[in-house]
């Protein structure tokens, strides 16, 4: 109740008060205001100063989740592949993580280098059927990079339709990207930034007709993309507290070697990120997020 506006309960005020709570909660009718305060304290409800925030909920959140579930359940392994795509920024300066340390030392040390920080970007995709990964490392991820990435996925899976589940970063649906793909089948409209709405795709990207279908996650729903856990594994293994602060090229090589390790491919990776082989089919993150579907539905 306190997470909602009092106006939802017929009160003409913007904030909750002890008096208002006593009025609207039947169990509080005979309590003094001090008694109401004591009960709230006991159950962990506090009177705190508000924090400003901006939130733009996706009105089609549940419908998009249901659509993704439908596509996953109805996929044909002989004709289709399912990939989860995302990007990660890697920094020359190490990110901070936990480590073991002698009791005499208050905390582990994470050494910084003397050079200014640098970054490179990884565009990666996790195959939800096999656990195989595909990635590109670039200084920046731009529209041509995304198109190249989709071209490489198409070469890996000839004669198949590739469903790519991804977030709403505008570059993913730039007019040039959409021009390079086969006509999209999603029932949800793609809303372009205003500066792109009259943008005509470049001729060199037209006619590629790449057999890629984009399945967009609801906005602000990164927890529905299991590749996020793959990034977590990479950070835990390599990027937190790393000691390559003065070896930029060596860091890139280490990242590429990490992807090549057998443990970061196939079933071990599927298990780590919470996916089983979708032949089952079972996709726990979507199942947990879908409030009106039980696991028995799979």
Residue 171 is given by DSSP the state G
In the sheet that holds 80-91, the strands lie side by side as 133-138, 119-127, 80-91, 161-166, 212-216
Q: Residue 225: its pLDDT value, please?
A: 94
C-alpha to C-alpha distance for 98 and 55, rounded to whole angstroms: 31
pLDDT at 282 over 50: no
Q: Residue 292: its pLDDT value, please?
A: 37
pLDDT band at 252 (very low <50, low <70, confident <90, very high): very high
Longest dimension (CA), the chain: 75
CB burial class (10 A; 0-12, 13-18, 19+) of residue 282? middle
pLDDT at 31 over 80: yes
SS3 content of the chain, % helix, strand, coil (to 5): 40, 15, 45
Q: Residue 283: its pLDDT value, please?
A: 55
Residue for token digits 């990490």? 258
Top-ranked range on mean pLDDT: pick from 44-53, 160-169, 287-296:
160-169
pLDDT at 56 over 60: yes
C-alpha to C-alpha distance for 152 and 134, rounded to whole angstroms: 9
Count of other CB atoms within 10 angstroms of residue 154: 20
* Cβ atoms of residues 24 and 11 within 8 Å: yes
Mean of the per-residue pLDDT values for the chain? 89
Q: Residue 112 has which token pair? A: 């910084």
pLDDT, mean of residues 70-77 = 87
pLDDT tens-digit readout, 192-241: 999 998 999 999 999 999 999 999 999 988 989 999 999 999 999 999 99
Dihedral sign of CA atoms 110, 111, 117, 118 in order: negative
> Among 14-28, 44-58, 84-98, 199-213, whose mean pLDDT is lowest?
44-58
Characterize the bridge pairing of strands 161-166 and 133-138: unpaired
pLDDT at 277 over 80: no
pLDDT at 290 over 70: no
pLDDT at 189 over 60: yes
pLDDT at 288 over 70: no
The SS3 assignment for 39 reads: helix
pLDDT at 89 over 70: yes
CB burial class (10 A; 0-12, 13-18, 19+) of residue 67? middle
Q: Residue 276: its pLDDT value, please?
A: 67
> Where do the H-state alpha helices sit in 157-265?
175-180, 227-234, 248-260
pLDDT at 87 over 90: yes
pLDDT, mean of residues 98-104 = 88
Task: Give the predicted TM-score (pTM) of the model.
Answer: 0.79
φ, ψ dihedrals at 212, nearest 5°: -120, 125
């Amino acid at each position: 109740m306190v997470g909602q506006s009092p106006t939802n309960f017929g009160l003409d005020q913007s904030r909750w008060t002890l008096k208002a709570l006593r009025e609207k909660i039947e169990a509080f009718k005979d309590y003094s205001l001090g008694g109401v305060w004591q009960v709230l304290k006991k159950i962990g409800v506090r009177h705190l100063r508000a924090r400003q925030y901006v939130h733009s909920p996706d009105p089609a959140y549940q419908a998009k989740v249901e659509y993704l579930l439908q596509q996953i359940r109805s996929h044909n392994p002989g004709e289709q592949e399912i990939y989860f795509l995302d990007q990660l920024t890697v920094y020359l300066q190490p990110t901070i993580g936990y480590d073991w340390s002698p009791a005499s030392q208050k905390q582990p040390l994470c050494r910084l280098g003397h050079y200014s920080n640098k970054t490179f970007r990884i565009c990666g995709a996790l195959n939800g059927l096999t656990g195989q990964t595909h990635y590109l490392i670039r200084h920046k991820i731009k529209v041509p990079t995304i198109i190249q990435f989709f071209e490489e996925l198409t070469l890996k899976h000839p004669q198949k339709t590739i469903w790519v589940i991804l977030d709403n970063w505008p570059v993913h649906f730039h007019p040039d990207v959409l021009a390079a793909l086969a006509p999209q089948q999603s029932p949800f409209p793609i809303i372009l930034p205003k500066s792109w709405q009259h943008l005509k795709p470049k001729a060199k990207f037209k006619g590629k007709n790449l057999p890629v279908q984009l399945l967009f996650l609801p906005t602000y729903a990164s927890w529905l993309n299991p590749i996020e856990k793959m990034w977590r594994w990479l950070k835990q293994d390599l990027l937190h507290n790393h000691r390559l602060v003065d070896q930029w090229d060596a860091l890139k090589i280490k990242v590429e070697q990490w992807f090549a390790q057998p443990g970061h491919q196939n079933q071990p990776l599927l298990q780590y990120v919470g996916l089983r082989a979708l032949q089952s089919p079972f996709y726990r993150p979507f199942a947990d997020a879908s409030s009106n579907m039980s696991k028995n539905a799979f």
